[in-house]
Amino acid sequence: MKGARAVNTTDRQPRGVADATRSFRHVFVRDLEINATLGIYEHEKLSPQRVIINIDLSIKERGEPLEDDISNVVSYEKVVDLIKEIVATGHVHLVETLAEMIAARCLENDWITGVRVRVEKPDIIPEARSVGVEIERLRTT
């Protein structure tokens, strides 16, 4: 074949073969419903409202086989507890701020390399199922 050349593949991984050392696991929590004092209006500061939080954490695989032990993974139960703890600290004006607070706390865990957080307020605009924000943050170091 004209222009074709032989490629030496003996010293590299064959195509299509997974390499767990470059893989990510995603831990997620979907549609966590929490009551929070969130918003810029006076009535939002006084009365808690329904907030729906979704989170997706990227965890870099460590390369070794995963043992069947909770201490070897990021626990979604602990993620939920963390979100509840942040919400319980008090009033936040913006959904953006709450999302940033959640993302920053998650990235304190060295296993987590990236986080996507969605914060929704389902009861604000009658014509919309929900309004809110979604952010994605990556570890820089």
Each domain of the chain, given as residue ranges in start order, spans 26-138
**Whether domain 26-138 has CATH 3.30.1130.10:** yes
pTM reported for the whole predicted model = 0.81
- When pLDDT is cut at 50, 70 and 90, the band that residue 91 belongs to is very high
Is residue 124 pLDDT above 90, yes or no?
yes
Tell me the mean pLDDT in the region 102-114.
96
pLDDT in tens, 29-41: 999 999 999 999 9
User: What percentage of the chain has pLDDT greater than the value 70?
Assistant: 82
CA distance 59 to 74: 8
Q: Quick check: 3 pLDDT over 70?
A: no
